Structure 1
Amino acid sequence: MVLNLTLVALHEAENQIEVSLKQSLKSLEPSLRPPFTLTIPKPDEYAQLNCAILHGILTEPQFAKTHIKHMHAVVTDGYAIFLNLLLKSVYHLYPKLLSSVKNQLLWVTKEMVRVSAIGYDVLLVSLLRQIIGGDFSDDNLWLCTKLVTLLLDKWDCFLEEVPHILCSALYVFLRVLADHCRLNGEKLESLKRLEVHLCVKIVKEEFHLCLKIGRDFVRLLQDLVHVPDFKSIWKDLILNPSKFNTLGFGAVSQIYCTRTSSRYALLRITPEMETQLRFLLTHVKLGHEKRHLTWFARKFLNEPDKETVIVDIVRFICCAHHPPNEIIQSDVIPRWAVIGWLLTTCRRKNYIEANVKLALFYDWLFFDERVDNIMNIEPAILLMVHSIPQYVDMTNTLLEFLLLLVDNYDMEHKDIIVKSVSSAFRFLESKGVIKSLDVLTSCPTISPSLKEGLSRLLSCGKRESSKGFLSGS
């Protein structure tokens, strides 16, 4: 009997990827036991054999070593087809895979790393994306443990062959650690030690990889300064950058000026979540979004701890989902509206709300029109402007947060931040994202102190002065 890969509800149809793998195993099962045939299969036969072997590995742990030896014996394409099948299984099936199948999936992943199969780095990225922020379930913590252990065990291999995997892993585990370090308990202690060890190892031994991440590396690191290992790293970053012994690196401002690639924002969104968000932001009309948002919240934000993933969603929307003009000019729900809704769902915990706002404004703090994308900063200004008629409290709250950020985020580099935020406002105006900044500076329902602070910020941005912008400071 051919076993299932996934747990499928009665009302759900079987996934076609699983159907294909299952059918291949069913038709080729007799030929998957030794002795194996020595004839070279035709291309279509080879593809089917890859399907059959993969299904056998995932559902027959007792024969897994035999199946993988068979794969090694017949491979003619550097495992390209086999890796592609693994990738599809992770991307489309992972959340529903049976626990035993997930275990086999990680086992065969290690084997693909061992033989340097073509595309194993893409497979690892796909698995990293399955780690869910704010999820303390046994399944999620198990995946964290398996991947961080693999990354440490195969450190030399990854450093030599695919160093970008270590960049991706650092981004993921810095973010995940922020969640894990807020909870105590035996079940988390050993995992936290492994995650801290991996991240500290990358930062201290291969700091040049941190620089490739760009400014979001600093944002994530700041969320961990209460952890002793990272507190010392932060002090060195600010006070003693030469300690990192990296050619050309001399100050944290260099990291601020490096825009983080959108692929890092994608790392913290599962493929399933990405699919739903892109559908929402591409097909759902404004005014008809309520049931879609309710479903999304029930599916992905249904537990208090999972609210932290809202930070990741906002970064994804700002940095990785840039709709074309035909969508922007249509009646599809805009990005700013979804972010506004997300902000209203995370008000039970102040630190989450603050981190969501920071995620929204982060590119403003170091905006440079020569290297930054206007689409990263567009949602924040549109949310402030469009909230004025009915939800001016949202406008006031966001504007106050931004001015406080300018005043307090990094006093040593405040002049850079003043210039960047002022430049962001004026660039948005010049490109027609908003008709005029007067909509904020002259609005009667916006707090007078905030309007005054914004006006001073805009004028100081031209002079590159750095006095305070709130309460006349």
Structure 2
Amino acid sequence: MASGLIHKATYEADHPFDVSLRESFQLLEPQLRPPFPLTIPTQPEYSNLNRAILYGILCEPHLAEVHIKHLHGIVIDGYSFFTSLLTRLVNELYTKLIENVKVQLFGITSIMIRVSAIGIDNLLVALLRQTRGGDYSKTNLWLCSELVTLLSTKWDCLLEEEPLVLSSAMYVFLRLLADHCRVSLNSNLEILKQKEIKFCIRVFREEFHLCLKIGRDLIRLLQDLVHVPEFQEIWKDLLLQPGNFKTLGFTDISQLYKSRTSTRYFSLRLTPEMETHLRFLLTHVKFGSQTRYQIWFANKFLNVPENETVVIDIVRFICCAHHPCNKIILSNVIPRWAVIGWLLKCCSKNHVQANVKLALFYDWLFFQEEVDNIMNIEPAILLMINSVPKYIDMTQNLLEFLFLLVDHYDIERKDLIVRGVLSALDVLERKGVVQSFDALTSCDMLSPLLKERLVKFLSSKNAGVVCKRVILPTTPERTHTALRTASCEM
């Protein structure tokens, strides 16, 4: 019996999960037609029956209603096992699923939300992870559209049962919008953009407390949408009238800056397949032998110019979500900073390079030792120091960009940013990530002005000095300009 679930080339081996679903269906097919047996199944029988019913729902759309009624009749675990099967299907097989199966998948997901199935949050997160940035293919845009429609339709149910799913979706759609808003003259994409904008604005206006769950990376994503009219009002309220969000305790955007973003959000922008290959590269590939693995990874995931924006998400993931153990750090496995250096060189567009650098340095700007993880800021300093002298341009560009951020990222809160960067530098030296900054301050290949700025900055760290706050007229336009300058200049 050929698979009714996936597209499979003749040379490809059968996928074990596909085989298990198909075999359960073949074994129990006579029991999937009314009248259904009245006997109570054992645990193994129950698991097999769930697999068979799932296969039937996905591959027999004309009988889907019968299969769903059967599922409702036999379920004894709050749909936990059935939902786990759906989640595994998405994680392992989504890209290979037949188009009609994908349609059925969304139908049964909607029903699982309605019945408050245990594990529905994991299923929805799995679907969100399958959306790909910089991918304007029909299949990817269809997935984005189906997801935002589903989440909007099931808003009330999710808000009551799984509110963090809405927070995760907010993160995903803000990130996707940054790509989608760069493309015009595509009617299908215009419709999708409006759906995504409407969803995000609704979260901002009705459930701002869920936005706060995201932490500082909410601002990093939002700044790419400052040119979108619908988000300009959000910016004005964030900067001038935070009380408009009607959220107890929120009084200033600096509260978001000081809130570290949970690692679960960074995983949302990598597909499971991409994460698997990236973690393999960072845990098994020896430094010096990585070229062929990097070429394969680039051909697989960065194969067209539009895909470059994914590098932003990969760098943020490496800094904040992949923290190798000491055994790996002390081994000859390729270090994180080297992979990030390679990824930076993969970017040909200036705005992508700038956003990758921002992703690399973002936690530096608001670093607090008692809140933040030193592993988040380690790759940037090691990349700068280890690029001397062979790749001095890399060191020069990164250091220039860091000072550009200090001076212009948020002029109104420059004192907070200076404190963050000084704290990051202090911790990196005090904890032994670097023995000293002499490799930078004594480097004759760096521009004299840049070295002078660095020496002065480090001396203020040693003296415990924080710059005085410069009071400037507060306007959204001023802050928007500063944010754009910091993220777009090279």
Q: TM-score range by the shorter chain?
A: over 0.9
Corresponding position of 2:28: 28
CA deviations over 1:236-261 (Å, ceiling 9, x no partner)? 10111111111101000000000000
- CA distance in 1 between counterparts of 2:4 and 2:65 reads 20
Corresponding position of 1:371: 371
- CA distance in 2 between counterparts of 1:445 and 1:433 reads 23
- CA distance in 2 between counterparts of 1:128 and 1:152 reads 14
| Counterpart mapping for 1:131-170 below 5 A | 131-170=131-170
- CA distance in 2 between counterparts of 1:323 and 1:15 reads 30
- CA distance in 2 between counterparts of 1:262 and 1:454 reads 31
1:400 aligns with 2:400: yes
Corresponding position of 1:464: 466
Cα shift at 1:2: 5.8
Unaligned runs of 5+ in 1: 469-473
SS of match in other structure, 2:372: coil
- CA distance in 2 between counterparts of 1:144 and 1:6 reads 20
1:309 aligns with 2:310: yes
Question: Counterpart amino acid of 1:193?
Answer: Q
- CA distance in 2 between counterparts of 1:181 and 1:393 reads 32
Corresponding position of 2:388: 388
Alignment check: 8 A CA contact 2:413 2:469 kept: no
Corresponding position of 2:266: 265
| Counterpart mapping for 1:217-256 below 5 A | 217-256=218-257
- CA distance in 2 between counterparts of 1:162 and 1:109 reads 14
- CA distance in 1 between counterparts of 2:213 and 2:378 reads 24
Cα shift at 1:444: 1.6
1:435 aligns with 2:432: no
Corresponding position of 2:294: 293
- CA distance in 2 between counterparts of 1:281 and 1:3 reads 35
Alignment check: 8 A CA contact 2:133 2:307 kept: yes
Q: Out of 348-357 and 10-19, give the one that drifted further.
A: 10-19
- CA distance in 2 between counterparts of 1:458 and 1:388 reads 19
- CA distance in 2 between counterparts of 1:441 and 1:241 reads 42
- After TM superposition, where is structure 1 displaced by more than 3 Å over at least 4 residues in a row? none
- CA distance in 1 between counterparts of 2:354 and 2:102 reads 35
- CA distance in 1 between counterparts of 2:123 and 2:333 reads 33
TM-score (norm 1): 0.97
Alignment check: 8 A CA contact 2:57 2:63 kept: yes
Alignment check: 8 A CA contact 2:429 2:436 kept: yes
Corresponding position of 2:7: 7
- Root-mean-square deviation (CA), in Å? 1.2
- CA distance in 1 between counterparts of 2:2 and 2:33 reads 15
Corresponding position of 2:354: 354
Alignment check: 8 A CA contact 1:132 1:140 kept: yes
Corresponding position of 1:125: 125
Question: Counterpart amino acid of 1:465?
Answer: C
SS of match in other structure, 1:393: helix
- CA distance in 1 between counterparts of 2:171 and 2:267 reads 11
Alignment check: 8 A CA contact 2:134 2:179 kept: yes
Alignment check: 8 A CA contact 1:121 1:162 kept: yes
Corresponding position of 2:473: none
- Aligned pair in 2 of structure 1 residues 327, 353: CA closer, same or farther (>3 Å)? same
CA deviations over 1:186-217 (Å, ceiling 9, x no partner)? 01111111100000000011111111110000
Alignment check: 8 A CA contact 2:5 2:101 kept: yes
Alignment check: 8 A CA contact 1:2 1:25 kept: no
- CA distance in 1 between counterparts of 2:290 and 2:107 reads 41
- CA distance in 2 between counterparts of 1:11 and 1:329 reads 41
CA deviations over 1:24-81 (Å, ceiling 9, x no partner)? 0011111111111111111111100001011111111111111111100111111111
Corresponding position of 2:484: none
Quote the sequence identity (%): 62
- CA distance in 2 between counterparts of 1:429 and 1:98 reads 54
Cα shift at 1:456: 2.0
Alignment check: 8 A CA contact 2:170 2:203 kept: yes
- Aligned pair in 2 of structure 1 residues 365, 390: CA closer, same or farther (>3 Å)? same
Q: Out of 238-247 and 294-303, give the one that drifted further.
A: 238-247
- Aligned pair in 2 of structure 1 residues 342, 466: CA closer, same or farther (>3 Å)? farther
Cα shift at 1:166: 0.8
| Counterpart mapping for 1:15-54 below 5 A | 15-54=15-54
- CA distance in 1 between counterparts of 2:415 and 2:460 reads 9
Corresponding position of 2:192: 191
Cα shift at 1:319: 0.5
- CA distance in 1 between counterparts of 2:70 and 2:53 reads 8
1:179 aligns with 2:179: yes
- CA distance in 1 between counterparts of 2:268 and 2:455 reads 38
SS of match in other structure, 1:223: helix
Corresponding position of 1:471: none
Question: Counterpart amino acid of 2:427?
Answer: F
- CA distance in 1 between counterparts of 2:256 and 2:322 reads 23
- CA distance in 2 between counterparts of 1:272 and 1:2 reads 25
Alignment check: 8 A CA contact 2:415 2:469 kept: no
- CA distance in 2 between counterparts of 1:14 and 1:433 reads 47
- CA distance in 2 between counterparts of 1:353 and 1:335 reads 17
SS of match in other structure, 1:337: helix
Q: Which has the higher contact order (CA 8 A, sep 6+)?
A: 2
Alignment: residue pair count: 467
| Counterpart mapping for 1:54-133 below 5 A | 54-133=54-133
- CA distance in 2 between counterparts of 1:79 and 1:363 reads 40
- CA distance in 2 between counterparts of 1:396 and 1:262 reads 29
Cα shift at 1:459: 3.0
Cα shift at 1:12: 1.9
Alignment check: 8 A CA contact 1:269 1:313 kept: yes
1:280 aligns with 2:281: yes
Cα shift at 1:389: 2.4
Cα shift at 1:11: 2.5
- CA distance in 2 between counterparts of 1:436 and 1:445 reads 18
Question: Counterpart amino acid of 2:247?
Answer: T
| Counterpart mapping for 1:406-425 below 5 A | 406-425=406-425
- CA distance in 2 between counterparts of 1:96 and 1:301 reads 19
- CA distance in 2 between counterparts of 1:160 and 1:107 reads 21
TM-score (norm 2): 0.94
SS of match in other structure, 2:225: coil
SS of match in other structure, 1:446: coil
Corresponding position of 1:205: 206
Unaligned runs of 5+ in 2: 471-490
